[in-house]
Amino acid sequence: MSKRLENVLRFYAMAAQLKYRIRSGWDNLHWNISNQRRESIAEHIYSACILAIAMDSEFNTNLDIQKVIIMLVLHELGEVKIGDITPFDGITSEDKAKIEHEAMKHVLGDLAKADEYYDLLVEFDERKTRESIFAHHCDKLDADLQAKIYQDMGCQNPLDEQENNIVFKNARVQQMIKEGAKSAFDIWYQWDKSLYSDDENFSNLLDYIKEIDTQNFNI
């Protein structure tokens, strides 16, 4: 019994550290969101789960939504050890997957269901099943939503104040600006639009949030 209790507390304590880790996309080296309090990794996980629940409610997904939620709850576990690595941080996707999977194993530790959870995390990353594709869409679209929320809050800095932004220096981003991108969310929108080409509902939601003021939904 004591070993099981230790497993519970160890896993809880390690995973809960994500409450205190800020999403890299909003930090001073990326979009430098001008808000005193920036989104944590744990808050992103919560929001992605909420999005999954809402999408499953409103559209006929015919998915194992419990499996989706577990994937989303666990998918950032590796960031407890390696931090939140973005595609712009000079680490290849292959190298990131390798170190992240090792970190996931470490955080899962000796949980009785460690192998089951690890397999779900690998399934999420491989994006070959309907549940993993849906979960991945929720993960990515949550970031797009948060980018628009920050813009509507007035927290996104103008594009002419992005000299320290490593994302902004990307050649594709610079091309977007030449082609007429006027705001941070314009870039987020164009960068991620093609990710949802296989799912009309997610694509339509991205279009919808582009046109509305998210602050209208505040209580």
Per-residue pLDDT of the chain (219 residues; tens, 9 = 90+): 799 999 999 999 999 999 999 999 999 999 999 998 999 999 999 999 999 999 999 999 999 999 999 999 999 999 999 999 998 999 998 898 899 999 999 999 999 999 999 999 999 999 999 999 999 999 999 999 999 999 999 999 999 999 999 999 999 999 999 999 999 999 999 999 999 999 999 999 999 999 999 999 986
Partners of 22 in beta bridges: 40
Taking a C-beta distance cutoff of 8 angstroms, is the pair 182, 159 a contact?
Answer: yes
**Which pairs from 108-114 meet CB under 8 Å and 24+ separation?**
108/11, 108/77, 109/7, 109/10, 109/11, 109/14, 110/3, 110/7, 111/7, 111/11, 112/4, 112/7
Q: Calculate the alpha carbon distances from 186 to 147, 177, 191, 199, 218 in Å.
A: 10, 9, 9, 20, 22
Q: Which residues are CB-neighbours of 165 under 8 A, at least 6 positions away?
A: 29, 30, 31, 32
pTM of the model: 0.95
Q: How far is CA 115 from the centre of its chain?
A: 23
Q: Which residues are CB-neighbours of 166 under 8 A, at least 6 positions away?
A: 29, 30, 88, 89
DSSP state of 64: -
User: 10 Å Cβ neighbour count for 165?
Assistant: 19
Taking a C-beta distance cutoff of 8 angstroms, is the pair 73, 47 a contact?
Answer: no
Tell me what pLDDT residue 181 has: 96
Domains, the chain, with CATH or none = 2-217 (1.10.3210.10)
Compute the distance between CA of residue 29 and CA of residue 165 in angstroms, rounded to an integer: 5
Find, among 18, 42, 34, 4, the residue nearest to 142 by Cα. 42
Angle of helix 200-211 relative to helix 184-192, nearest 10 degrees, comes to: 170
Tell me what pLDDT residue 219 has: 65
